[in-house]
Chains A and B, each alone.
Chain A
Amino acid sequence: MKLDHMFKKTKQIASRKNDNIRGEKHPSVPRGLLRKCNKCGGAIIAEDAIADYYICPKCGGYFRVDAYSRIARVADEGSFEEWDSGLLNGNPMAFRGYEEKIKTLQEKTGLDEAIVTGEARISGHRVVLGVCDGRFMMASMGEIVGEKVARAVERATKEKLPVILFACSGGARMQEGIVSLMQMAKTSAALKRHSDAGLLYISVLTDPTTGGVTASFAMLGDIILAEPKALIGFAGPRVIEQTIGEKLPKGFQRAEFLLAHGFIDGIVERDKLRDTLDTILRLHGGVGVHDETSECGQTDAHDEEEIKKEHALAHESADLGNGEDEPESTDLRRHIDAWERVQLSRRNDRPVGSDYIHALFTDFVELHGDRCFADDRAVIGGIAMFHGTPVTVIAQAKGSNTKENIDRHFGMPSPEGYRKALRLMQQAEKFHRPVICFVDTPGAFCGLEAEERGQGEAIARSIYEMSALKTPVLSIVIGEGGSGGALAMATADEVWMLENSVYSILSPEGFASILWKDSKRAKEAAAVMRMTAEELKEQGIIELVFAEPEQYTTEHMQDVIECLDKEMLRFLEQYGAYSMEELTDHRYERFRRI
């Protein structure tokens, strides 16, 4: 049945004549109720987006946030106290119309300049906050912006507070000429002093961060975070396109691009930013009021003899845990020969680095990149909490399936992997955090690109710096300890191994092929290489061996984790008590005697 025009429509319409619809009562859409997303072009209800962290509900694109809204989202309610507002702006080049422009913008935005600085609390942590506001001349950095950053950072140094800067900028402020350029030096220098005082600086890059700001304070964070898809670069994309005469690839200079190229630690979605900052601040708990004597001073109380005794005791107990408590496994172990252990160490279902990180630590925040070239997925690094103590955790990471393995380069680090590891270790040194490394690699990545970027140099540098790192370093071989690629993360105060892990100069296949010109004799090679945990302990290369259950998979990690946990606690207590000098001397001797 077709119903087109079958029905009679409303005929007796209620009287319209004495109807005096007043203009304002008439249905109409007020301006600004809807806004257009500049990313997807979709019409969105402005309030909706504001309630949702200024995120487009349609495409998930981020709108730029003004400084005070940003502060309201990040800081504890009512905790923000603004500093240095109302600094007088000069016009160093006597640029025509500049003062008027500033005045108009001040009236329009209610801001005095392109950055708001001050002190706030984030989940109770006192921090110094600086937030750029793109509405004010695209937050370009002139004298006042530079001055406010420098003053805020100086005050943070004095009051021993961490600094968090939200960058967003078109770069230097052209109207101020060379004075603007000098702000790059001024802000960077202030941050250097802040860093030298052992204080934390977190830089958060928002869309867009370019030019002189990128080339100064934005890129100097101990930890650099970015918002998804934020444009971050030195030269603007249009300038680059014009210069090289080519169209730039999609995603060029976006946060994701920078992450892949090793320049930022992580991308954090807006709704998770406050929590992430809270976690990072917690992991740096006390950095604001750090007192070096508290850590080193304690050592005097410890008699060196006593420490040695404790050490010996600890070793004994660990051995007990391994041997006499589990006689069956001891029996069983006798039947496993070296080659079998090599194979066990390479098993696909064996727990990998990330499994240990999740099992042993809480609040893990992964930090990416070597700040030079790339983020190597074969190395996972970050900060985590271990029984209330912040530690830096670095793991050579195999995957748990083929796809993950390809992604992680089968746990074979590239130069950038070692450089990331070293960067994180040096960061740990700055913040007096112990370093815990998990070693599991067939060897450093072997290839053209790796050589081009200095694989040998990267390994050497890592060993060199680790040997004198002024913080306790522990390395645990959890699978394959392949050659220099392993040592680059095992120049530690103590090295431990799991029962079926191996650690050697070379793979048995390689050994056989070099010495006997026959890689098929790997089994034979394994037997003579003395590469099993037990043999290495006998040689004094490593300190502890941890028993494994017969079937060692992620489901059966519990016992191993418990033993590791107990020993790690002991390690941190023991080495945490050393003075810096004792610590590095001890490490020096450890390798010197071999």
Chain B
Amino acid sequence: MIKKVLVANRGEIAVRIIRACREMGIETVAVYSEADAEALHTKLADEAICIGPAPAADSYLKMERIISATIISGADAIHPGYGFLSENSMFARLCEKCNITFIGPGSEVISKMGDKQQARNTMMGAGVPIVPGTTDPILDAETGKHEAAGIGYPVIIKAALGGGGKGMRVAACEEEFEQAFLTAQKEAEAAFASRVMYIEHFIEHPRHIEFQVLADSYGNVIHLGERDCSIQRNHQKMIEEAPSMALSEELRERMGNTAVAAAKAAGYVSAGTVEFLLENDGHFYFMEMNTRIQVEHPVTEWVTGIDLVKEQIRIASGKKLSYTQEDVKLTGHAIECRINAENPEKGFRPSPGTITDMYLPGGKGIRVDSAIYTGCEIPPYYDSMIAKLIVWAKNRSEAIRKLQSALGEVIVEGIETNVDYQYELINHPDFLAGNVDISFIERYQQGL
């Protein structure tokens, strides 16, 4: 069993992991940048080691410093959280080479699922439905145009190494293709230093449905139901809920089984997420597999009663899953709302600064995962998410009312937040009716 975990992350997820460890009697080591000397995770962990200056590239992304900190602190495992090095196969491989338990899947799985083309090929082999698209890397617009004609417009052009909406463009027709391709490729080259693109059929107005899976090293794989993450702005999720209104019991079973098959095909171990695009007619397509704990994992925790971070640690310690598929029962409805230090009125510009005062809600069915406290600094160097408000109730309408009530209580002074924007959003008739797809925010903003 793991005895001491180094948490290679910051913010609420670092705090979340430290808490899980403490409950399990596992010692924790935090790593922090000079900007995070006073951060909650630094103070909460049993030990803390400074690993570099503020920019993430010099601290939270510095593999050798994190490994070195692990060695000198005597930790035997690293939890990478999400973002930063969590899906870096080289980092996972370094851990493997240094006999450090990487709490996540093996480096090869990360590498395979991180390359979109390889991931698609793996899934195709396992009979998981895939959005029609190219199988070979596309490097020039001419070849791309030819392929796009075969796939059928509209098409989306994506960078093979992409993410976060960078290096991604939609072309509605052949006339738009070349421009879209060149722009996306230029972005990809700048952001990921790779010109490799691929093209797939663009599904209009799909829902983003993802399935949480758990897999141990003994080949046991279960799914914990879905999360509906259709409310996204620029491909960044804002509100996530479980279960999804769009899934019938039958469809849930079918998609769940597909997610399990996908995880098995990938040789997956640990907690992971299989993302699908769901069309109105019930057709669904594999999008990608996230090989880490997700930001929105609490909604699944609440409807299943399973602590995902603890399960990750148990699996990494070589234990068998504590649950079978039959044990997993979805109860009630959970919604998560992300609170970011950003200014919606100024194009969602990040709003770092000092939190001079704050009040966060509590009560039955309300959970707040955050790393903020009165007087803490929100540094400008990292992600702007400062808290997650998660609610649970018997059904969706009660959960929404609870979310409305709780979000209405949130007070964060000293910086700008998206709380008011989110509050408007959860009062929108389409949201109330569960009538959302991934372009909801786009439409909503045009309506503003």
A–B contact via C-beta, under 8 angstroms: yes
**A interface residues, Cβ below 8 angstroms from B:** 1-4, 6-7, 9-10, 12-14, 16, 19, 21, 24-30, 33-34, 43, 45, 47-48
Per-residue CB proximity of B40-54 to A under 8 Å, as 1/0?
100110100000000
Contact A1:B374 (CB < 8 A) given known A10-B22, A13-B25 = yes
Is B322 in the interface zone, CB < 8 Å from A?
no
Question: Chain B residue with minimal CB distance to A26?
Answer: B99
CA distance A26 to B99 in the complex (A): 6
Closest 3 CB pairs of A and B: A14-B25, A3-B43, A1-B375
Say which size band chain B's interface belongs to: 20 to 34
Q: Establish whether residues A28 and B98, one from each chain, have CB atoms under 8 Å apart when the complex forms.
A: yes
**Docked CA distance A60–B40 (Å):** 37
Task: Convert B150-178 into 0s and 1s, putting 1 for each residue whose CB lies closer than 8 angstroms to a CB of A.
Answer: 00000000000000000000000000000
For A33, list chain B residues within 8 Å (CB): 94, 97-98
CB-based contact A27/B75 at 8 Å: yes
Please give, as numbers and ranges, the residues of chain B lying within 8 Å of A26 by CB-CB distance.
76, 99
B63-71, B216-224, B398-406, B439-447 - interface stretch = B63-71
Question: Can you name the residue of chain A whose Cβ is closest to the Cβ of B74?
Answer: A27
B27 within 8 A of A: yes
Q: Looking at the complex, which one of B21, B43, B100 makes contact with A6 (CB distance below 8 Å)? A: B43
Closest to A6 in B: B43
Q: In the bound complex, how far is the Cα of B76 from the Cα of A25, in angstroms?
A: 9
> B28–A27 contact, CB under 8 A?
no
A25–B70 CA distance with the chains assembled, in angstroms: 14
B residues within 8 A CB of A1? Answer: 373-376
Report the separation of the CA atoms of residues A25 and B25 in the bound assembly, to the nearest whole angstrom: 21
- 26 A-B pairs whose Cβ atoms sit less than 8 Å apart in the complex: A1-B374, A1-B376, A3-B43, A7-B43, A10-B21, A10-B22, A10-B28, A12-B25, A13-B25, A14-B1, A14-B3, A14-B24, A14-B25, A26-B76, A27-B70, A27-B74, A27-B75, A27-B100, A28-B98, A29-B67, A29-B98, A30-B97, A33-B94, A34-B64, A45-B63, A48-B90
In the bound assembly, the distance between CA atoms of A13 and B70 in angstroms comes to 18
Known: A27-B75, A30-B97. 10 other contacts (CB 8 A): A3-B38, A7-B44, A9-B46, A10-B28, A27-B71, A27-B74, A29-B71, A33-B94, A33-B97, A48-B90
Known pairs A13-B3, A27-B100, A45-B94; A4 contacts B43 (CB<8 A): yes
Which residue on chain B has the smallest CB distance to residue A33? B97
Tell me, rounded to whole Å, the shortest Cβ–Cβ distance linking A439 to chain B: 36
Q: Is B26 an interface residue (CB 8 A)?
A: yes
A43 and B46 within 8 A (CB): no
> CA–CA, A412 to B228, complex, Å?
70
Nearest CB in chain B: distance from A21 CB, A: 8
- Measured between beta carbons, the chain A residues less than 8 angstroms from B64 are 34, 43, 45
Give every chain B residue within 8 A of A9 (Cβ-Cβ): 46
Q: Which of the listed residues B22, B26, B40 has the most CB atoms from chain A within 10 Å of its own CB?
A: B22
Contacts of A45 in B (CB 8 A): 63-64, 90, 94
What's the Cα separation between A34 and B74 when bound, in Å? 20
Least distance between A241 CB and chain B CB atoms (Å)? 36
- Determine which of A3, A19, A29 lies in contact with B3 in the assembled complex, contact meaning CB atoms within 8 Å: A19
Looking across the interface, which residue of chain B has its beta carbon closest to that of A24? B99
Contacts of A2 in B (CB 8 A): 375
Please report the C-alpha to C-alpha distance between residue A12 and residue B26 in the assembled complex, in whole angstroms. 8
Inside 8 A of A7's CB, which chain B residues have their CB?
43-44
CB-CB under 8 A from B25, the residues of chain A are: 10, 12-14
**Cα(A4)–Cα(B24), bound, Å:** 23
Q: Which residues of B are found within 8 Å of A48, using beta-carbon distances?
A: 90
Q: Which residues of B contact A34 (CB under 8 A)?
A: 64
How distant is A26 from chain B, measured CB to nearest CB, in Å?
Answer: 6
Give bound CA distance, A47 to B63, whole Å: 14
Cβ–Cβ < 8 Å partners of A3 in chain B: 38, 40, 43, 373
Q: Which residue of B lies closest to A23 (CB)?
A: B99
Among B21, B75, B94, max chain A CB count under 10 A is at B94
User: How close is A221's CB to chain B, nearest CB, in angstroms?
Assistant: 32
Minimum distance in angstroms from A422 CB to a CB of chain B: 40
The winner among A10, A14, A27 for most chain B CB atoms within 10 A is A27
Least CB distance, A42 to chain B, in whole angstroms: 10
Complex CA distance for A26 and B4, rounded to whole angstroms: 12
Q: How far does the Cβ of A19 sit from chain B's closest Cβ, in whole Å? A: 7
Q: Are B90 and A10 in contact (CB under 8 A)?
A: no
- The answer to whether A10 and B76 touch across the interface, beta carbons within 8 angstroms, is no
- Kindly list chain B residues whose C-beta atoms are within 8 Å of the C-beta of A4: 43
Q: Mark B272-291, 1 if CB is under 8 A from A, else 0.
A: 00000000000000000000
* Shortest distance between the CB of B268 and any CB in chain A (Å): 24
Contacts of A14 in B (CB 8 A): 1, 3, 24-26
In the complex the two chains form, what is the Cα distance from A360 to B48 in whole Å? 63
Taking A1-B375, A12-B25, A43-B64 as contacts, is the C-beta distance between A27 and B98 under 8 angstroms? yes
Contacting residues, chain A, for B63 (C-beta < 8 A): 45
CA distance A462 to B40 in the complex (A): 76
Q: Which residues of B contact A24 (CB under 8 A)?
A: 99
Chain B residues lying within 8 Å of A30, measured Cβ to Cβ, are 97-98
Contacts of A28 in B (CB 8 A): 71, 98-99
A-side contacts of B40, CB under 8 Å: 3
How near does chain A come to B67, taking the closest CB pair, in angstroms? 7
Given the complex of chains A and B, what is the CA–CA distance between A45 and B28 in angstroms? 26
B119 to chain A, nearest CB (A): 21
Q: What is the CA–CA distance of A19 and B3 in the complex, to the nearest angstrom?
A: 10
Complexed CA–CA distance, A45 and B93 (Å): 11
Q: Which residue of B lies closest to A3 (CB)?
A: B43
Q: Shortest CB–CB separation between residue B205 and chain A, in angstroms?
A: 41
